[in-house]
Amino acid sequence: MAEEPGKVALQDIGRARVLDGRTTDVARARERSRRSRLRVVALVLLPIFLALSVRAALTRAGLPGVHLPAGDARYLPALVLVVLLGMVLLGPLLGAGRSPHVLYRPGEIDVGFADVRGAAMMVDEAVKTLNLFLAHTTFTREMGGTSRRAILFEGPPGTGKTHLAKAMAAEGGVPFLFVSASAFQSMYYGQTNRKLRSYFKALRKYARNEGGAIGFIEEIDAIGAARAGMGGRSEGISGVVNELLVQLQSFDQPTWARRLVGKLVDAVNAWLPVHRQIRKPPPPHANILVIGATNRATDLDPALLRPGRFDRKIYFDLPSRSARREILDYYLAKKAHEPELDDEAKRESLAAMTIGHSPVMLEHLLDEALVWALRRGGDRLSWNDIQQAKMAEQIGLGQPVEYTEQERRAIATHESGHATVAWLVGKGRKLDVLSIVKRGTALGLLLHSDTEERFTRTKSEIEALIQIAFGGMAAEELFFGAAGSGVASDLKAATDAACQMVGALGMGSSLISLDTVDAVGGRNLAAKVLGSDAAREEVDDVLRRMKSAATTMLDEHRHVVEALRDALLERHELVGDEILEVIAGALPGGTTAGAQSAGAQRDGTAHGGPGHSGSRPVGAHRHSAERGAATAG
């Protein structure tokens, strides 16, 4: 047999790359386990080989061999029937306590650390945790440390928690036991605990046979939710949490062979004096790493998060702009696309307009764009396909609406007003889509995005967003003398933004924050601000000033509004540079110098709380209809 792999160097454990799989403690343990299995097989086959050899020798010598009586064959059907009945009666009961996990071997996982994009910090922490797992014996022997037994992945859905866990198992070359926490739950009392014990028993078995094993529990809050006091959760649910806590502390348990040896040692020690008693063999170390995933870590029982259990938490946030760019580059390399999408500016623009998208959402967006490419008869996605997929994802599919001529002009004028104000005041923003195609409840819309990743807003920037929201209403009043019912969502967005300024951001005359929890646990800031006479007057003053500014701007740039309106009436939808081309054609000299841009909020709503630290930029303005009715100007 080949020699065992060499030892791992201690200084390599803390580096940001995975250890060589041939030199780790896991590889050494796997080799020892392989040799042990070969010895067991040899011991089992040896008696059979000897028996067959003896029988062959007796046959050659002409001596009678050993045979079963011929009449015993009549009992065979009854024996088979008894076995089948036993399986039918006892099978469900025995199977109810089986571990519900799905086993993945390293060769079955097609994900590695190179496939985890846009999560450099999480990958770095995962690599270092994996190295401790792979070199646990070296770490303990030379430094006296104890490697981590469990880590918690927390973050919004679709941010790559399962993806990274699979990559860890593949890179580590160990079995990966995937299970959903809800699969442990059973209608029979006590069976949930039994399934938990079976799962950890399977982990210990694979860890001893393969040198290590990684267990992944999806949505662990389903079985690890915090226990309540008297009158709270039922005893059964508390018992499940208790069982999970016990199993997380019971990795090193003796095998059945060692338990048998232990009983023999105990029997012998009962006859021996204390100073001559035989020491029982210690339980073998089971190199297990349990990974729990949840998007509600605050719901977990505190005992699960103490040292020795899930004592290391890795948070998966929504990717930043540079991370989204990296993820998009990775997925676009696998998908057929037009050469225009290889342009650096297009890639950067795509990363900017997908703020708030998780990695899964980014892949889904590109897949939807491929569907749009098929619908138009293409064999690869284009920039326009991505825009169409993004609008369908955020707002809904476009629907044919038989507008009257007056309604078409009113909606086109309304959206052109938004776009003109956004072009004039939206510093650091770019126009994405201008449309009068009905999507969902929106009869028309303007989507605009930040040119750079932003997490905070200045007072002037929030005021600019309010002015953009009033652009549609001001345009209708200028061109038709009065605004229609389509301004409802714009007024709500503007009011919410003004309430944020006055009641939460200290941008009004008072520094008192009204963004506090009330007696029933609510946080309706707008209701609190509008419930105060002084704050209400200040909000109304902000809204009137912003509307007046928007009206003045549009009055001075009527030609831009008219150009955009006419283009919408002709083409129904303008995307990206098409908007700026129309504006350039309406300006003296045909240039859009000084023009700014704008961006769509992930959920497509207008002005959902701008200005908060860490808030997402917003910018979707809709010409809305009540109960699907068209809104006349």
Q: Using an 8 Å Cβ cutoff, are 216 and 172 in contact?
A: no
Type of residue numbered 308: G
Helices (H) and strands (E) in the chain, counts: 20, 12
Long-range contacts of 324-333 (CB under 8 A, 24+ apart): 324/118, 324/351, 324/354, 324/355, 324/357, 324/362, 325/351, 326/117, 326/118, 327/117, 327/118, 327/359, 327/362, 328/354, 328/362, 328/366, 329/117, 330/115, 330/117, 331/362, 331/363, 331/366, 332/366
Closest by CA position to 327, among listed 280, 366, 293, 362: 362
Angle at 453 between CA 163 and CA 583, to 5 degrees: 125
Do β-strands 176-180 and 102-104 pair in parallel, antiparallel, or remain unpaired? Answer: antiparallel
CA 302 to chain centre: 23
Which token pair is 503?
């009641």
Residue 275: other Cβ atoms inside 10 A: 5
DSSP string, 261-307: HHHHHHHHHTTS-GGGPPPPPPPPP--EEEEEEES-GGGB-GGGGST
Q: Where are the alpha helices (DSSP H) in 173-220?
A: 191-210
Which token pair is 9?
């160097």
**Computed from CA positions of residues 297, 303, 307, 310, in that sequence, does the dihedral angle turn out positive or negative?**
negative
Which token pair is 522?
């609510």
Q: Which residue has the tokens 């938004």?
A: 418
Q: Using an 8 Å Cβ cutoff, are 510 and 521 in contact?
A: no
Residues with catalytic annotation? Answer: 415
Q: Using an 8 Å Cβ cutoff, are 300 and 226 in contact?
A: yes
* Type and span of the H or E element at 154: strand 150-154
Q: Using an 8 Å Cβ cutoff, are 569 and 435 in contact?
A: no
SS3 category, 583 = helix
